[in-house]
Amino acid sequence: MNIVSPDPVAIGHATIAFPFGLSPMAGYTDSAMRRLCFEHGCGFALTEVANARALARGCRRTRHLLHADASERPLGAHIYGSDPDALAAAAEWIEAQNRFDFIDLNAGCPVRKIVARGAGAALTRTPAKLESLVRAMTSRVKMPVTVKTRVGWTSAQTMAIDLARAAEQGGASMVSIHARFAEDKHSGPAHWGLLSAARQSVSIPVMGNGGVECAADALNMVRDTGVSGVLIGRAAVGNPWIFDRIRRLCAGEPDQGPSLAEIRKTALRQLESIISLKRIEYAHRQKAKISAEHAGVLQFRAHLARYLTGMRGWSSLRRRLEAISSIADIEAGIDEVFALQRETAGG
């Protein structure tokens, strides 16, 4: 493949030196996952999505979604909403925290409860509304505002160009576009050609997203569409090394995956970090049905699946996944699968 090394991307006063970042995913991209990705070469990241109205009124649980470590930079606070005043107030609160580099408006989430409020992917139907929401935010804060959207609601009406222009006209400093329609959610083909059309229609940076399964895919997206960079979502779950691998490919170096020992160490570090975050969250709860450790283990199970998928013995462990409820269970499951890998390699 032809090696592609994108230039740094400027968004307002912030600069993304290596424009391959971690896409926001509810329930996944918390501080624990982001820190690992940054350690392994991630160029920038977005938080989990947070409700702007709840942020503005001081909801502690919602604000916890934006918990971030000082090492996570550049970092965007990812929020959703359809009320301009609530979005502007949330943007002001985010700016006052001094731990983010930009504020990102979600205009692509297809989850029903978000769409029903006129937010998320519902905004792909109304570019004018998107423009007004972005303007409400940019008029109240000095830090950059960006947008993450899709190529449209359905394939019957492609909106990638209109949405990119709406974001730019509202004052956004960057737009990220998932190359699938909202009706497709996260499955089916990604329409990279629409990314190219959107990129050519605006002067602000356009990040691509969707259909990236490996490091080579990320470079191919840049080469084939001309986007300024790439946001990687599911391919980074249980695989923070994807960013290291992109960097190596950009440098023309041989691709190299992690050892079993490194996978085990990284997985358990992430589990410990998730539990630590749960302890912070639970410290303010009056009543909790389960412990912070138990809650962390339950959340980590989805990550464990991605760390081990495709390995010999994983299918057997997967059938017992719901019974895993402790750190010891996680360790035993990893060791069980890895013992089979070593046995196969030795044989």
Where does the pLDDT of residue 257 fall: very low under 50, low under 70, confident under 90, or very high at 90 and above? confident
Paired strand residues for 14 = 11
Residue 347 pLDDT > 70: no
The residue whose two tokens read 């983010």 is 100
Give the model's pLDDT for residue 1.
54
What are 173's two structure tokens?
Answer: 């400093």
Instruction: Average the pLDDT over 54-83 and give the result.
Output: 96
Instruction: Average the pLDDT over 146-153 and give the result.
Output: 97
Give the model's pLDDT for residue 183.
93
- Catalytic annotation, pick one of 37, 42, 109, 250: 109
The residue whose two tokens read 């000082």 is 70
Please report, as a single letter, which amino acid is at residue 163. L
Give the model's pLDDT for residue 169.
98
The class of domain 9-250 in CATH terms is: alpha beta
Instruction: Average the pLDDT over 234-241 and give the result.
Output: 98
Stretch (H or E) spanning 174:
strand 174-178
CA distance linking residue 202 with residue 218, whole number of Å: 21
Active site residue 109: yes
Instruction: Average the pLDDT over 211-232 and give the result.
Output: 96
3-state secondary structure of 176: strand
Contact criterion met (CB below 8 Å) for 202 and 168: yes
- The predicted-structure confidence for 291-310, as pLDDT tens digits, reads as follows 999 999 999 999 999 999 98
Q: Please state the domain extents for the chain.
A: 9-250, 260-346
- Calculate the average pLDDT of the chain: 94
Where does the pLDDT of residue 346 fall: very low under 50, low under 70, confident under 90, or very high at 90 and above? low
CA distance linking residue 115 with residue 237, whole number of Å: 25
Give the model's pLDDT for residue 220.
95
CA distance linking residue 88 with residue 328, whole number of Å: 45
Contact criterion met (CB below 8 Å) for 98 and 143: no
Please report, as a single letter, which amino acid is at residue 54. A
